[in-house]
Amino acid sequence: MDSMQFETKDKNGNKIIYEVFATYHDDDSNKDFIIYTDRSLDENNKLKVYYSLYKKIDNNIKLIEITDVNDKKIGLQLIKELVNDLDSN
């Protein structure tokens, strides 16, 4: 599988490239979720993984901040499932 990437700029204008692990469309809420990383490590030397809502506009990904508690639960569940899938392979 080819990796999907997208880039953004941080508040200082530096380019950040993210690699997408997975996307998911939730039929109940009709929302699209994305799980991604910038390949940086946290203080425990673990890969930082992020999740967000997103919209694809003209082949560009627009991240949307998650504010709804249910959406946060869905995002966390997706990350858990991804980690479990990686651990079983």
Give 26-75 pLDDT, tens digit per residue.
Answer: 998 899 999 999 999 999 998 899 999 999 888 888 899 999 999 888 88
Q: Kindly report the pTM of this predicted structure.
A: 0.79
pLDDT band at 78 (very low <50, low <70, confident <90, very high): confident
Q: What is the pLDDT of residue 55?
A: 92
Q: Are 77 and 84 in contact (CB under 8 A)?
A: no
Confidence of residue 80 (pLDDT cuts 50, 70, 90): confident
Check whether 1 has a pLDDT greater than 50: no
